[in-house]
Amino acid sequence: MLAVHPDYQGPSGEPGQIKLDGIVTKVSLFHGRSDDEADWHCYIDLSPKASTELSDYLRARGVNVDAAKLDILYSELMTLDKYKFTWFDDKFYSADLTSSFLLFKPGSAHPAWDLGVKAIDNQGTEHDFSSFTKLIGARAYLQGPLVNDADHGTRVEIHPLDSIAFAMDSSGAPIAAKKGDNAWPRTYIRWRVGVFANSNFHRIDGENYLKRERTTTWFLDLPTNAVAGSPVTPGNITVVEERQWLWDGGHNNTYSGRRWKTLVPWTIAVDPKDGRKKLRIATTMLVPDQFGGIVVRDYIIRVNTIVGHLPN
pLDDT on residue 58: 80
pLDDT on residue 234: 58
Domain ranges of the chain: 2-303
pLDDT on residue 6: 43
- pLDDT per residue as tens, the chain (312 positions): 344 444 444 444 455 678 899 999 999 999 988 778 899 999 999 999 999 988 887 887 777 888 888 899 989 999 999 999 877 789 999 999 999 999 999 999 999 999 999 999 999 999 999 999 999 999 999 999 888 765 655 678 898 999 999 999 999 999 999 999 999 999 999 999 999 999 999 878 778 888 889 999 999 999 999 876 555 665 689 999 999 999 999 999 999 999 999 999 999 999 998 999 999 999 999 998 999 999 999 999 999 865 444 443
Around Cβ 291, how many Cβ atoms within 10 Å?
23
* pTM over the 0.75 mark: yes
pLDDT on residue 64: 82
